């Protein structure tokens, strides 16, 4: 059964953010912990920390510090919607977030979408307002079993093209 849900997590960004990564809408687990990519099987945090040459951040505070230190802004396309659990495919009556609050405050060089649903939602709701094309990356969701971690790394490596050099790997 779908319910109307309002996005409970504020965006993470500051005046130094260089890229914006957008999901679709937070999962039930993310809404519970009040932070992005909260499901333990989601590969977002292991992936971006590996690409940036840093240890995996554990707490919400560590994750937020990681994003800001690496000049990564993070949010979702949708501000509220009707959704069944965590199912992106069930999203209806979507109301987009106002991404211009980030784009006007930070020198964003590239927008990335995490998966097909966020890409389609961005193109439909946000692109007409931002006039900034997004680069679609494969979803880090555990539902995207077709992509191994290595395949995800190969695609997601593009984020480093817009960021300062990553920390050297130990």
For 132-164, the pLDDT digits (tens) are 999 999 999 988 888 999 999 999 999 999 999
> Which domain does 145 fall in, by range?
3-162
CA 147 distance to own-chain centroid:
17
What CA–CA distances, in Å, run from 93 to 32, 74, 96? 22, 23, 10
The number of distinct structural domains making up the chain is 1
- Percent of the chain at pLDDT > 70 equals 98
What CATH number has the domain bearing residue 73?
A: 3.40.470.10
Q: Let me know if residue 97 belongs to a domain.
A: yes
Q: Let me know if residue 167 belongs to a domain.
A: no
Q: Let me know if residue 168 belongs to a domain.
A: no
Q: Let me know if residue 169 belongs to a domain.
A: no
Under DSSP, the state recorded for 16 is T
Q: Let me know if residue 54 belongs to a domain.
A: yes
Region of 37 on the Ramachandran plot (φ > 0 left; ψ -120 to 50 alpha; else beta): left
- The pTM for the full model equals 0.94
Q: Let me know if residue 56 belongs to a domain.
A: yes
Q: What is the mean pLDDT of residues 2-26?
A: 94
Q: Let me know if residue 170 belongs to a domain.
A: no
Inter-residue contact 12 to 75 (CB < 8 Å): yes
Q: What is the pLDDT of residue 45?
A: 97
Q: Let me know if residue 10 belongs to a domain.
A: yes
Encode pLDDT of 102-142 as tens digits. 999 999 999 999 999 999 999 999 999 999 999 999 999 98
């Amino acid at each position: 059964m779908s319910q109307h849900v309002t996005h409970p997590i504020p965006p993470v960004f500051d005046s130094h953010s260089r890229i914006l990564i957008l999901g679709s809408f937070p999962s039930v687990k993310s809404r519970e912990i009040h932070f992005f990519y909260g499901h333990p099987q989601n590969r977002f945090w292991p992936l971006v920390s590996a690409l940036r040459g840093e240890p995996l951040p554990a707490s919400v505070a560590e994750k937020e510090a990681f994003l800001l230190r690496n000049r990564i802004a993070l949010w979702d396309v949708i501000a509220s919607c009707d959704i069944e659990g965590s199912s992106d495919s069930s999203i209806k009556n979507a109301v987009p977030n106002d991404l211009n609050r980030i784009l006007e405050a930070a020198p964003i060089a590239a927008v990335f979408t995490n998966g097909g649903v966020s890409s389609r939602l961005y193109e439909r709701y946000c692109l007409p307002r931002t006039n900034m094309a997004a680069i679609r990356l494969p979803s880090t969701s555990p539902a995207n079993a077709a992509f191994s971690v290595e395949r995800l790394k190969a695609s997601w490596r593009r984020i480093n093209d817009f960021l300062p050099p990553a920390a050297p790997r130990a």
